[in-house]
Amino acid sequence: MYKKKKKFWAKHWDVILLDTLSALVALIIALFFRFEKILFWNVIPHEYIYENILIMIVFASILNAALRDPYTGIVHRNKWQELKAVVIHSFINLCGILIFLYAFRYSNRISRTVISLWFVLMVLIMFASRIIFKRIVRMRKHDDSLKSTMLVIADSSTINHCLSQLAGSDYVEYKVVGCAIIDKNWVGKKIQGVPVVGNCDSVFEYIRTNVVDEVFIDGKNRYSEELLAERLTDLGCTVHISLIHTEHLMKNRTIEYYGDYITMTTSMHMATNREAFCKRLMDILGSLVGLLLCAVAFIFLAPVIKIQAPGPVFFSQTRIGKNGRRFKFYKFRSMYTDAEERKKDLMDQNEMNGLMFKMENDPRIFPAGHFIRKYSLDELPQFWNVLIGDMSLVGTRPPTENEFVQYELHHKARLASRPGLTGMWQVSGRSDITDFEEVVALDTEYIKNWSLGLDLQIIFKTVAVVLKGSGSK
């Protein structure tokens, strides 16, 4: 029987428990240093608050692990990488507790010394406990008696690459005890220190007389591989069949199932379910706040728009979203109602090289419209697009239909993610960018390197840009 490997955050329950205990012990020690009466809990001021903090530390630690999955590759980290990971983990725990204290109005009744000391001690204790724990784990990983034995079966042309990937890996749960070459008789030789123990005919005899838990097959003939795997499975071995060499594929890949097909799926960037959930949650919360701001702005902007440029307060237009989807895009109107018709006459004054239109002193903008656009107030109604899922807070700016039909093939890459209210190029000196290809490059860079941290960084930069009034012109 083969135990399927866990692939979600809870597989690191031991480290989560260790980190939680480290955080709890750190708080208890901090209380002792501050009050020196830890044995007499009821004489500590507001002791019930600290009891609640102890409980919240448990929830914060579990939530921290579930949303971030900070333990991937923990065994392979060096001490400096581990210290950085511990500081980040402890800081997020601290933020969680501070949010709790402010939410329940406990902040004025808590000792700042205790909280500060708790953070420092948490980093030190957590770092020390992780280092000790990792040494124990590594010792166990190097104990071959605890590992399953693996036999590698491959062609003479692929055996070297196969062994370099399997036998040379550190901290794996198996040990390669031998290899079999199915197209040549190299029995008795050693390849990368691994003995050749059989060929196509004699490999079954080796399996019969030796301990073999798992077999890895890497060959060229898929039909013969499947027949070989079937026979080996009948012998009680767990069989792994190589589907494809991935060294030349993109780094973002995963195995998926479509009907009875097993596929290798690759993409520009792959977000985990956890990351996608957090991004959407951030979009919903941010759009609700944005719509409140939009409602306030409407009270002041609507009369001005109606007076200076009679017509609708809102401007709507069909834009192109993710992978070519069309949706209705909303803005506060900052131009005269005949702006689209007049655009044709102004194309020769376009300051952008490519498929976007930009003109510094655009005559289609009415007087107050300059103010509206300078501080990006016209963008506020797009929070509705974010709320209903057409857009995201951060992404790539959606092109118009006229721009989209002129796209070249490589331009389509910037539509690989949901369009955003703001994005990489908007906070990278967009008023100075005059080449559409540079916009495409920045948008593509954003998609390839996307992370929740990058989104937050862009949001903060956007706020700064808007407050400075260096928005679109």
Give ∠ CA 24-25-30 in degrees, rounded to 5. 100
Residue 204 identity (one-letter amino acid): F
- Say how many C-beta atoms besides its own lie within 10 A of residue 1's C-beta: 4
**CATH code of the domain made up of 144-242:** 3.40.50.720
pLDDT in tens, the chain (473 residues): 545 555 555 567 888 899 999 999 998 898 888 776 554 555 565 666 778 888 889 988 888 887 777 887 787 788 899 999 999 999 999 998 888 888 888 777 778 888 899 999 999 999 999 999 888 887 776 666 667 888 998 888 888 888 888 876 666 778 888 999 988 888 889 998 899 998 877 888 888 888 888 888 886 665 566 777 878 887 778 888 887 666 655 567 777 666 666 666 777 777 777 788 889 999 999 999 999 999 999 999 999 998 888 888 998 999 999 888 999 999 998 888 776 676 666 666 665 665 666 666 777 888 888 888 888 899 999 999 999 999 999 999 899 888 888 888 888 888 888 999 998 877 876 556 667 788 888 888 898 888 888 999 999 888 888 887 665 54
Question: Which DSSP string do the residues of 74-120 spell out, in sequence order?
Answer: GGG--HHHHHHHHHHHHHHHHHHHHHHHHHTT-GGGS-HHHHHHHHH
Q: Are 270 and 252 in contact (CB under 8 A)?
A: yes
Structure tokens at 178: 């031998």
Q: How far apart are CA 69 and CA 67, in angstroms?
A: 6
Domain ranges of the chain: 9-141, 144-242, 273-468
Structure tokens at 212: 């073999």
C-alpha distance from residue 144 to each of 1, 72, 138, 147 (Å): 20, 23, 12, 5
- Say how many C-beta atoms besides its own lie within 10 A of residue 170's C-beta: 9
Structure tokens at 393: 């807070």
Question: Which DSSP string do the residues of 52-65 spell out, in sequence order?
Answer: HHHHHHHHHHHHHH
